[in-house]
Chain A
Amino acid sequence: MSKVRLLVGTRKGAFVMTADGKRDKWKISGPHFAGWEIYHMKGSKVNPDRIYASQTSGWFGQVMQRSDDGGKTWEAVGNKFVYEGETGTHQWYDGTPHPWEFKRVWHLEPSLTEAETVYAGAEDAALFVSKDSGQNWTELRGLRGHGTGPKWQPGAGGMCLHTVILDPKDPERMFIAISAAGAFRTDDGGATWKPINKGLHSQYIPDPTAEVGHCVHHIAMHEARPGVLFMQKHWDVMRSDDAGENWTEVSGNLPTDFGFVIDVHAHEPETLYVVPIKSDSEHFPMEGALRVFRSRTGGNEWEALTKGLPQKDCYVNVLRDAMSVDRMDECGVYFGTTGGQVYVSPDGGESWNAVAEHLPAVLSVEVQTLA
């Protein structure tokens, strides 16, 4: 492994950033798709030069892009996302039934084994799959159709399916998360799904321990231990050791357990990273100090990582898909902010440097570790 490629989606375009293994000098290309919101970009592990991008606009709707040369050139592919069968309803903000309406793709997850297969998590919440490199999309209707769909409702950012995790050891198993419905798992390749929210406690919903209705912000997994999941919920950092069947809180000594991102060190499955945010009313770091918190014990015991990060007058947010880790020998950690900064730590969080400081608000950050 000798270099990394960072895929940064922002409110006003996409940026592709590359560096060698030292990760101290960066070449930045972009903005690609200037002026459009790029919710997410992600490369295929089978063919790393194949990258998918979700390009959206309030005016022009959803466009999907694919690059086959590592982000140098792009081709618009299929953007037809149609809910399968009877559309059905979910709950609206006021609790009334509201029909599903496609708005945008929040997250793209390329298959771990097939370069032509990619999953798309959508708003209103649904999971789509393409098996022809993004040209045609089909809904995996078992998710919306398993029974709890009418109880799902949008969070403040919309009713989005924002997390898709593929089990590297079991091709039939996938995890997804929806705001505000919760986490779900399939064990049969997406045909049937079950809610996996036991142990979550959300005091802001009518039944705090309901089967669905939880505002899960993000989930992370280490590929060597696919049965262990870590979750940043609206409030609370959670952990499951049985593939989501049961969750326990591991917020421990965090100064606040509200936040959006969570990720796992590439080589240490018990080392986690979160960025605590003050509250659901004030989406910025506490005391104007941007701090990443790391746990080396799988949660509960957390330490602040601050070297190189602004420690005063900083009032940015770090959104749910805006953290990633590379697989270099010394694991790099990356995150982007709504203030347009992208930070890298080439030493597992000990110190941080700004890759870029004046981008549009960052929506997503993914990193590829390349040979």
Chain B
Amino acid sequence: MSLVRVEIPYHLRTLAGVRGEIALDVAGAVSIQSVLDALEAEYPMLEGTIRDHGTLRRRDFLRFFVCGDDWSHEPTDKPLPEVIATGKETLLIIGAIAGGD
């Protein structure tokens, strides 16, 4: 079991009723997919808000950042770096700065 730190956008923190980073116990290999599985298991109200129901595709206006790199287009089952898996660095889930009104 790994303790992974995740930061999610403000509106999702509000929806989930959390403040700051979220620490998650992740079973098995640590990947974006397994982290999201653990996140949604702990906070079911987040299902469908980061990735689509069914297809599990990342929503268009969200991005995954790992140690300063954009992992949004990486395979979601690709193992995350050791610093993420050990909780030394935070997996960032970021909402696009996409204008709007």
Contacts and interface: CB of A to CB of B under 8 A. Distances in A.
B61 A79 contact: no
A139 B67 CA distance: 42
A338 to B, nearest CB: 11
Interface string B88-101: 00000001101011
Interface residues of A, number: 16
A59 B11 CA distance: 10
Interface in B48-100: 48-50, 52-54, 59, 61-62, 95-96, 98, 100
B54 A82 contact: yes
Nearest to B44: A76
Contact of B48 (A11, A58, A80): A80
Given A58-B61, A59-B62, A79-B47, 12 more contacts: A58-B98, A59-B59, A59-B61, A60-B11, A60-B59, A61-B49, A61-B59, A63-B45, A63-B49, A80-B47, A80-B54, A82-B53
A79 B45 CA distance: 8
A74 to B, nearest CB: 10
Contacts of B12: 60
A312 B62 CA distance: 43
Interface majority SS on A: helix, strand, loop or mixed?
loop
Interface in A95-130: none
Contact of B11 (A36, A62, A79, A81): A36
A140 B53 CA distance: 19
A35 interface: yes
B27 interface: no
A354 B42 CA distance: 44
A82 B48 CA distance: 11
A80 B49 CA distance: 10
Contacts, number: 48
22 contacts: A36-B11, A58-B98, A59-B9, A59-B11, A59-B59, A59-B61, A59-B62, A59-B98, A60-B12, A60-B59, A60-B62, A60-B95, A61-B48, A61-B49, A61-B52, A61-B59, A63-B48, A76-B45, A79-B49, A80-B48, A82-B53, A82-B54
Interface string A53-81: 00001111111000000000000100111
Contacts of B95: 59-60
B100 A60 contact: no
Interface in B1-59: 9, 11-12, 14-15, 45, 47-50, 52-54, 59
The 6 A-B pairs of least Cβ separation, nearest first, read A76-B45, A60-B49, A59-B61, A80-B53, A59-B95, A79-B48
Contact of A35 (B11, B53, B59, B96): B11
Contacts of B52: 61
Contacts of B100: 58
Nearest to A60: B49
Nearest to B101: A11
Given A59-B9, A59-B59, A59-B96, A76 B53 contact: no
Nearest to B59: A61
Contacts of B96: 59
Nearest to B100: A58
Contacts of B62: 59-60
B18 to A, nearest CB: 13
Contacts of A57: 11
A57 B49 CA distance: 9
